[in-house]
Amino acid sequence: MAKEIVELREAELEFSAVTRALHWIRFVAIVALTITGFCIASVFIAPSISGEPNLFLNARIRMWHEIFGFVLIAVTLFKTYYFFASKNKAEKLERGSFSDALSLKTWLAQLKYYLLIGKHPRLKGAYNPLQFVAYYGLYVVFFLLCLTGLILYAHNYHDGFGGVIYGAMRPFEALMGGLASVRMIHHILTWVILIFVPVHIYMVVFNALRGKEGALDSILSGIKFRKKH
């Protein structure tokens, strides 16, 4: 008579409420910035035909692009601070990913898992080494995207906040090779994000289906169901 194997799992907080909220705010900001950004770069819609002289459609699109740009800047800065400063258990688990990323043994085990020739390694942190390096690189892209966005913003608005940051942005503009290069870098970084997003979704679904730990819905519930060892 075949014996039934019972696999014990325990619920573990993977992502705090703050992290989950920031994730979805950032997602909305990225979608809005992508749509409005492509329209600013290469206009694909036109205002309704009218004799009125105030059909500033492009200006409205630019306004929303800048609003969501500042939302992305705020989320990026706050999440970076929260990652290092929070004493929340979930954030401590995220910081624990540092040690996994420095372990060659964990790297090899993780690669075997992705190649379907090994089991998922037991991690000390929330992210496996590949995830952690990818997220680290993503935040570098976010910071550069925000920086180039601020440089472009300062050249559009010489009063108010644009005037305040204009002097500080000029050295970065020169370092990047001028305003045309800044704009090109901004566009390239946007494509990096657009390439990352589908790969990120694929890997989340892969881990959810193969690991059966609730990886897909953990960004909503915050909970993962890890195997007991």
In angstroms, the CA 217 to CA 229 distance is 23
Structure tokens at 125: 């942190």
Q: Specify the pLDDT at position 3.
A: 52
Between the alpha carbon of residue 225 and those of residues 42, 75, 114, the distances in Å are 46, 28, 20
Q: Specify the pLDDT at position 53.
A: 61
Of residues 133, 126, 110, the one with CA closest to residue 206: 110
In three-state secondary structure terms, 123 is coil
Cβ atoms < 10 Å from Cβ of 117:
8
Q: Specify the pLDDT at position 214.
A: 67
Q: What is the 3-state secondary structure (H, E, C) of 124-183?
A: CCCCCHHHHHHHHHHHHHHHHHHHHHHHHHHHHCCCHHHHHHHHHHHHHHHHCCCHHHHH
Which long-range contacts (C-beta less than 8 Å, at least 24 apart) are formed by 56-64? 61/36, 62/36, 62/156, 64/32, 64/36
Residues 6+ apart with CB under 8 A from 142: 72, 76
Q: Specify the pLDDT at position 48.
A: 65
Q: Specify the pLDDT at position 1.
A: 47
Domains detected in the chain: 10-46+55-223 (1.20.950.20)
Write out residues in the chain with pLDDT < 50, as ranges. Answer: 1
pTM here is 0.83
Q: Specify the pLDDT at position 172.
A: 95
Query: What are the tens digits of pLDDT across the range 107-132?
Result: 888 888 888 888 877 777 778 888 88
Q: Specify the pLDDT at position 228.
A: 61
Structure tokens at 28: 């909305």
For CA atoms 146, 148, 151, 157, give the dihedral sign.
negative
Please compute Rg for the chain using Cα positions: 22
